[in-house]
Amino acid sequence: MTPAQTPTPQQPPQRKPLKVAKTVKELMSMYAADESNKTFNAIILGQIGAGKTTMLSTAPKPVLIDSFDPGGHKLRTFKPLIESGVIIPDSRWEKPYFKMFGDWEQELENRIAGGFFNNIGTYVIDSATTFLQAMKDHTMDKSGRDNVSQPEWGAIGTSFIHHVKQCTALPCNFIMTGHLVLELEESEGKTIARFNSIPSLQVNIPTLFDEIYVLIQEAKGTGVERKLLTQSTNKYLARTRIGAGKFELYEKPDIAELLRKAELDYKDKV
């Protein structure tokens, strides 16, 4: 091969230098503009009667409660707060109406589109157990059957996760309440409290929240002491991100006080 026939080596493609400073600045601007970074979201778990709904009255107000639990808004302690307008219960979702969940989905979209949550201190879904039941009823109504197939349960789980993500991205605080079920872990010979839901959601739903709290009640003399677990134990799964290095293992069940300790905005919007 003559020199004239020697092939020319291929040059690697020229890459544009990455503008690191500009990229970092853009990401920081996006982070600052994301309203969900300024808010608090939590799932509060506990046994029936532990005081989860009562604890909601300590959240920054006004508090909008989409109540799926029948009679959940009728707490006597709520009456003066409801009358003053700082707690707003929407009890439409408590009624046994098959199309109710579809109505709730439309209502949520309308509220988001209208900027409704900009004026709300804390939005609550009470509770995850009856929320899931409403989804199941709605699915059966659409199919015309009195049961739910395995693929339909998968779709319900995906929809549940989607709606939680919607709510944790709102420009206000978001809380979901949930119940616990005690299960014997035979391999370890101990009882563990799990989020009461279908298996695919028992872990997936709590992990969508920054805060996972467990409300515990203990008999003390003639009364009951309630305390909030903020970190995991052998029996309960709990977690705090905002309270890392600031919260005790057990805290007073007062949401505004927790926000104050975490140096976050705990003031009402009213």
pLDDT, position 8: 61
Structural domains in the chain plus CATH codes: 38-261 (3.40.50)
What residue spans of the chain are helical by DSSP H? Answer: 20-33, 52-55, 79-83, 100-113, 128-143, 150-168, 199-202, 255-261
**pLDDT tens for residues 101-124?**
999 999 999 999 999 999 999 999
Letter string b/e over residues 226-251, b meaning 16 or more CB atoms within 10 A of that residue's CB: bbbbbbeeeebbbbbebbeeebeeeb
* Helix, strand, coil distribution of the chain in percent, nearest 5: 40, 20, 40
Q: Is 224 helix (H, G, I), strand (E, B) or coil?
A: strand
What integer best gives the mean pLDDT of the chain? 88
Q: What average pLDDT values come out for the chain (270 residues) when binned by 10 residues?
A: 59 63 60 65 92 92 94 74 93 86 97 97 96 96 94 97 98 97 80 93 96 92 89 95 97 97 94
Assess contact for 128 and 179: CB atoms under 8 A.
Answer: yes
pLDDT, position 31: 46
Phi, psi (deg, nearest 5) at residue 7 = -65, 145
